[in-house]
Structure 1
Amino acid sequence: MIDLRAHDVRSFLPAQDFALSKAFYAALGCTLEWSDEDLALFHLGGARFYLQRYYVNEWADNCMLHISVQDAAQCFADVSQLIGTGRFPGARVSAPKQEPYGACVTYVWDPSGVLLHLAQWDRA
């Protein structure tokens, strides 16, 4: 077995409208750590991810990010209010749903179609 000694894994997310997507993730509470014209590094909790000025519809429609949260219902309310402002065309949210694998999940689609799973895990 190869020992990579990995200490960090970061995903790359597509952005159809880079500025709009950067603003969306910032509004969700992600901290922008660094950015240039084509790439942005965000920090959320103990993790980081890249947002890039690159978009392929098939990729965006199949790209997902799972985020463990404390309260999926509160996330639904907060994201619904954010999307309701009209600032983020294309973004949408669905009500929390109990999934068979043990999490209550609020699904959020970013302005590019990337699916975020805001998952509250059962405490049992």
Structure 2
Amino acid sequence: MPMPAATDLRAFIPARDFALSKAFHAALGWDVRDVGPGIALVTVGAAQHFYIQDYYLREVAENSMLHLTVDDAQAWYAHMRSVLAEGRFPGARVQPPVAQPYGATVTFVHDPSGVLLHFCEWGSPHRAAP
């Protein structure tokens, strides 16, 4: 029997404050739209997606991670600093880009619920954060 095709994979991430989480991801420049009660679809770029759910369990949130491949981890760091400088997203934070032993430069971002976002630039030399 042939293997059935799979065409998309979408994670669900928890939100301590659903409205705040949607606003945070929209502030990153992503499209965020409600698709059902307590569920919002986030579209990143042309074809990457994940869901924010109006559900929160600390242990789940603080152990959830999303990995995003980006062209410039330093630029995402600068963008995140400007978004967070507004003070609208309590609990959210960003770490300067760090060269990882597996060959990527990564900017780590914690969203307002504690979900960890990895902005990963592959195969580039490490650039020091300002």
> What TM-score do you get using the length of structure 2 for normalisation?
0.89
Report the number of matched residues: 124
Equivalent position of 1:71 in the other structure: 72
**1:4 is aligned with what amino acid?**
P
Q: What is the percentage of aligned positions where both structures have the same residue?
A: 50
Cα 1:94–1:123, aligned 2, differ >3 Å: closer, same or farther? closer
Q: Which structure 2 residues correspond to residues 1-124 of structure 1 after superposition, within 5 A?
A: 3-45=3-45, 46-123=47-124
**2:5 is aligned with what amino acid?**
R
**2:108 is aligned with what amino acid?**
Y
Cα 1:70–1:4, aligned 2, differ >3 Å: closer, same or farther? same
Where does structure 1 differ by over 6 angstroms across 4 or more consecutive aligned residues?
none
CA distance in 2, matches of 1:79, 1:2: 45
Q: CA deviation at 1:35?
A: 3.3
**1:83 is aligned with what amino acid?**
L
Maintained 8 Å contact 2:104/2:124? no
Secondary structure of 1:116's counterpart equals strand
| Structure 1 range deviating more: 51-60 or 25-34 | 25-34
> What TM-score do you get using the length of structure 1 for normalisation?
0.94
**2:70 is aligned with what amino acid?**
V
Q: CA deviation at 1:33?
A: 4.0
Q: CA deviation at 1:34?
A: 3.6
Name structure 2 gaps, 5 residues minimum. 126-130
Q: CA deviation at 1:2?
A: 7.1
CA distance in 1, matches of 2:34, 2:123: 34
**1:85 is aligned with what amino acid?**
E
| Structure 1 range deviating more: 75-84 or 31-40 | 31-40
